[in-house]
Structures are given as structure tokens and as C-alpha cells.
Structure 1
Amino acid sequence: MKQLASAALLTAAVLAPSLASATMISGSYDVDLNENDPGLVVNSQDLAANPFSFDLNEGESVTFDLFKIWTDESAVNGDDETAQPISVLFDLTLPEAITGSVNGETVGDTWGLGGFYQEGQLTWNGPLNLVFGDNNDGLITIELSDETFNEGYWWGLYEGLCNGAKVEATITLVREATASVPEPATLALMGMGLLGLGARARRKRQAA
């Protein structure tokens, strides 16, 4: 009887949905930007831990400073007004191995009399959606903030790291992945095992 009860408990544990618990999201990131002419030459410096790690429950988000962006150029020239690509590659190791990039662009902008005011601009195309889980129903989103950096006037930029901008990242665990359900063949084998244990227990009682 004890064997039958143990087997039943094991089956229930396999079939029962897992209890809600925080999901660890861990990974690293790499910023790729325009480091040479033509275009506005920009630099970056990591601000967040790399690799990073957070525990999130379904529906929760965390926002943090990811990296700083700036230019050492002293003025926006003609070639700087042509947008250049920027991307951040995220390489997650937990909850499983997933990779993806957030893509955007940087550009120099001027306005006012003859370009009296000048600045660098950073814009992103949209959030990154990362699907995970055995059933591909878990979802993590990563969104980065648009920023203006090295704003200046008198027909120039206030160049340098200290006049740059901090880019924020928001990671959201939109949806937990559901647990896999045992295949019919597995369920059948477990059922046969339970029946066998039950029959064995009855024979022992009859023999006694």
C-alpha cells in the first residue's frame, strides 16, 4: 500500500502545475555603434553589471542604467546629420539561452540661426521580444530609452563623457513559460505501473 501511495504522489507531482515563483533572468550585453567617420562619432561606457541578473515574477519589470553614450566631436558637421546604426546585443543564459538585438540610430541635429543649437540624438526602433520555454509561450521584453546627448549652443556641441546621456533598459517578464505536459505514451506507462503496484499489493494481502 505504501508503494502505491508513493507512486500516486510521484504521478501527482509530475502532472501538477508548478507553483508560482520568481524567474531568474541572467545575461550579458554588447553595444555596437558608429566609432568612425562618416557620421557622428559616438562612444559608450557600460553602466550596468555585465553580465547582469534579476529575479522577476510574471508581470514585473526592472529599469536600470545600461550604458552611457556621448560624442567627442565639437560640432555637428554635414556628414553628422546622416543617421548611423546602433545596436545592443543581449545574450541571455537564463531562463534559457536566447539572443536578440535592440536596433536604432544616432544622428547629429541642429536648429536655430545657422545651427546655433546642436545635439546628438539616439532613437530605438522598438522593444526586443524574447520567446522562451518548451512550449514557446514565455515572453521577456527589453526596451531601451531614447536619449539626447552633448547638447550645446553657439554653433557647437558640449563634447565629452560628462555631457553624455545615460541609456536606460527596462526588462519585463511579460509571461512565464508553462510546464510541459507528459506525452500520452508516458502517461500510459505511468498508469500501467500504478495498476501493477496495486495488483501486487492485493496479492500480498491475500497471501497474508
Structure 2
Amino acid sequence: VQNIRRRRLKMIIQRQHKFEWGNFLLSLLEVVSFCLLALGLVKLTFFDDPNLTDSSRITSSVAYKPLVLRPSASQSYYVKVKSTRNSDLSQQYVFYIEGKKYTVPSHLATISYEKDPINVTASALPFSRKALKQEDSRYQQAYVAIYTASYKNTAINGLGLHAGRQAKRFYLIRVPDSSFISKNQ
């Protein structure tokens, strides 16, 4: 903007012209390149959805925590499912880890109680089936696998203002069978 203004004033005062095609085309080129760069930065900042298996941009880890069995009047449970009756049909999962209560929306978690620890929802994330099987035997199929992906400190992530920030957190809640799930309607 300063360069356009300076050239325009120089054209008017020194050369005493109101319009020059060269000046106009150069200004147009500067405005178009600025808009393209601004759109690129907006895309990098707000619409960046990296591949979670891309090790050049993302670091990921999985932490395993044992679930705490909660007794109630009707049954003991590991996970309580709270359903809402609104238009988005969302649920919340309530569970306890090491004495702390966690409430997680259903789009950030899944419950697995089948023989295979990775259900359809969890298969979209890079969980290790072998590690989950080891945790099955260690915690008697009552644990939470917390997958966390963070952006690396790279130039592209820095331009998008993501460097060092969390990209994704997902909870795979593993219970022995469906009788350990309390459904709250």
C-alpha cells in the first residue's frame, strides 16, 4: 500500500500525469499477489486438516489409563453414556481415571467392547492393534487409550500458527462387555 501510494504521488507530482498504464499494472500485480498470499495464509490457518500419519508435520502418542469401576444402585459401570434428544443426536461419555471425572463428547471418543479392541470409529486413527491387545491383558479390558497428535515446529505449521499446538485428541474407551456401560436416557 505504501509502495502504491508513493508511486502514485510521484506520478502525479513529478511527471504530472493522472494515469499511467505501467503504474496501474504494477499496482494491480501487487494487489493480486497480496490477496493470493493472504488467502494462502487463511487456508493454512483455518482450513488446514493434516494427515495424522504424516510424520513430517505431526507427532503422535498414545497413553493408556485404567478405568475406575463406579458402583451405583442398579449396576456397577465403567462408562456412563448421556444421550441428548436434540437434532444433532450427540452423546457424552462419562468415566473416571485415577479418581478424576472425564466427560467427553461422542465425536471425540468411542467405546469398544468387542473382541477386537479397534472398532470402526477407532480404525480411522493410527492405533496399534498389538499395543491395544497388550493393554487388554494388562488392565482386563478396562482402560482408556488416549491418542494425542501435536503439530511439529516446522515452517509450514508456523505459518499456519499451529506449531507446537494440539491437532487431535481422541479417546478409545475399552470395556469388557456392554454390561459395564450405564445408559442414561
Q: Which protein is richer in helix relative to its size?
A: 2
Q: Which protein is richer in strand relative to its size?
A: 1
TM normalised by structure 2 equals 0.31
TM normalised by structure 1 equals 0.29
